[in-house]
Amino acid sequence: MDSRTINICGVGICQLLLFSGYFALLDLQKTLLASAHDDNPNFNVDGYTLSGVIYTSFSLSVLLTPSVISSIGPRLTMFIGALCYLAPPVAMYLENSWLLYVAFSLKGIGGALTWTASSNYLVLNSTEQTLARNMALFWFFFACGYFPGNLFTYFAFKSVTVKIDESTRHLVLFVMAGFIAVGAFAHLFLRDVQESRKKSNADTPLQALKRTSNIALSRNTAVLLLAFGYVGLNMSFISGIYGSSIGFTLQIGEGVKRLVPLSGVFAGCGEVSGGILGRIFGKVNVFRINVFFVAAVILNCICYLMIFLSLPAVANFGNTYEKAFIGPRPWLLLLVAYFLGVGDSLLNIQMLTLVGSLYPHDSAPAFGVFKISRSVFTAASYYYSRYLPLPTQLLILTIFGAMGMITFNVMNVTHERRKVADKC
């Protein structure tokens, strides 16, 4: 195994550890806060709003992240960003409203640092030929982060029925914080990129900011904006909204709260499966159209239809005994979680690969623009989830999925033709 592949595996393992805690926390956020409110009516903070705060902060921070990377390098940037992930579980443990908003804003800044730096680190350790493979390999490790925290929570919720008691909430938050801390400090053991690779990507902070602005205002970004937006909307739905909606559907029965982390486990299985497919095949083009991106959108739309039929329209708002068209079937809901994970994995791998291929020498600014665009839509999704019922959200996802699929492949076809022309 060459040094670059070792670096890819290393950063993937760091993300696995970090997100073992964060994924479980994100799935449970709305449910944990609702139970805390039941114990203390004066503590009233909405989980969707907090997620919106994360991605608003993320969007505002990403623009400056390439400048930070150019100053201290991707490895230290990832470490500093990962430490910020500790703020949410600590604030949720203390159950202080104003501290929660501060902590989740800090998490948004940390996410901007970690994601942009890790994407830059992946590109610096890749070539045009290995980029798709390395993105899939990284995604495989990253997606495995769905398992440890969610599995722990599933067993911790063994005696939980409608409400999660305080001792169980605190135990889960303590363990999730432990996962995050281990993942954060693991970044210190990553190796720096070879000097020859770094020089070709080096910029002063001001140059990095200028490059980011130029890419943000470019034609490529304008064409890909709807595709970026769909990836963001779909990410928020699978990460925070779908699991909560299952947990609030009390018609399922007493074990409904355990389905929240279990749906996260199945989504993780789907993410891993998508990563394996990407690792084996890289990217598959038919007439220069990206087959995986098209397949992911179609698969997601089928899942949206199953959710529309299976969950009550108001399931995303809170506990409800309302019925859906066919009634909630746990096995079907978990199967949908799996295929949503497959679709999300394929979407992200293909998007990261295309962005990295479009800007091989400006990877940090380019991924920064992608993260900004995606997180704006993710934040909007969390904010409107407080007010829009599930059917409306599913319709929005379907429309954006269709438009994103078209615009992504317009850019993919254009880029493939340009690569062929450059070789001639």
**What value does the mean pLDDT take over residues 378-385?**
92
Residue 287 pLDDT more than 70? Answer: no
What sign results for the dihedral spanned by CA atoms 231, 234, 240, 243? Answer: negative
Tokens encoding 199: 């020089």
- Running DSSP on this structure, what letter comes out for residue 290? E
Asked if 199 and 344 count as a contact pair (C-beta separation under 8 A), the reply is no
As a whole number of angstroms, the distance between CA 279 and CA 277 comes to 5
Selected residue with higher pLDDT from 127 and 184: 184
Confidence band for 404, pLDDT divided at 50, 70 and 90: very high
Left, alpha or beta for 285 (phi > 0: left; psi -120 to 50: alpha)?
Answer: beta
Q: What is the pLDDT of residues 344-367, one digit of tens each?
A: 999 998 998 888 888 887 777 888
- Mean pLDDT value across residues 19-36: 85
Distance between CA atoms of 155 and 159, rounded to whole angstroms? Answer: 9
Say which amino acid occupies 381: S
> Which residues, 6 or more positions from 295, have their beta carbon under 8 angstroms from its beta carbon?
346
- Segment 400-406 shows an average pLDDT of 96
Rounded to whole angstroms, how far apart are CA atoms 297 and 295? 6
Query: If you search the block for the tokens 């615009």, which residue do you land on?
Result: 407
For 164: left if phi > 0, alpha if psi spans -120 to 50, otherwise beta; the answer is: beta
Q: What is the pLDDT at residue 197?
A: 44
Residue where the block lists tokens 């067993």: 155
Confidence check: pLDDT of 200 > 50: no
Question: For the residues 276-294, what does the mean pLDDT come to?
Answer: 78
Q: State the pLDDT confidence band at 51, using cuts at 50, 70 and 90.
A: confident
% of the chain with per-residue pLDDT over 70: 95
Task: Give me the DSSP letters along 167-207.
Answer: HHHHHHHHHHHHHHHHHHHHGGGSPPPPHHHHHTT---HHH
Find residue 289's DSSP bridge partners.
Answer: 286
Among 246, 275, 260, smallest CA distance to 144 is for: 275
CA dihedral over 401, 407, 410, 415, signed as positive or negative: negative
pLDDT at 196: 42
Looking at 5-19, 104-118, 227-241, 279-293, which range is the least confident one? 279-293
Closest CA to 161 of 92, 246, 239, 247: 247
List, in order, residues 6 or more apart from 115 with CB less than 8 Å away. 81, 367, 371
Burial class (CB in 10 A: 0-12, 13-18, 19+), 329: middle
Total H helices, total E strands in the chain: 18, 2
pLDDT of residue 283: 66
pLDDT on residue 199: 43
In the chain, what is the straight-line distance between the N-terminal and C-terminal CA atoms, in Å?
33
pLDDT class for 424, splitting at 50, 70, 90? low
Quick count: other Cβ atoms within 10 Å of Cβ 108?
Answer: 26
d(CA 119, CA 123): 6
Joined together, the tokens standing for residue 101 give: 């908003």
Range in 109-118, 232-241, 364-373 with the lowest mean pLDDT: 364-373
| Whether residue 195 has pLDDT greater than 70 | no
Q: Note the pLDDT tens digit of each residue in 131-160.
A: 778 888 888 898 888 899 989 998 888 877
Calculate mean pLDDT across residues 291-314.
95
| Predicted pLDDT of residue 267 | 93
Element spanning 286, H or E:
strand 285-286
Helix, strand, coil share of the chain (percent; to 5): 80, 0, 20
Q: Average the pLDDT over 50-65 and give the result.
A: 86
Nearest in space to 342 (alpha carbons), one of 293, 305, 379: 293
128, two tokens: 């045009």
Contact 67, 206 (CB under 8 A): yes
What pLDDT, in 10s, does the model give residues 229-248?
A: 999 999 999 988 999 899 99
pLDDT of residue 205: 62
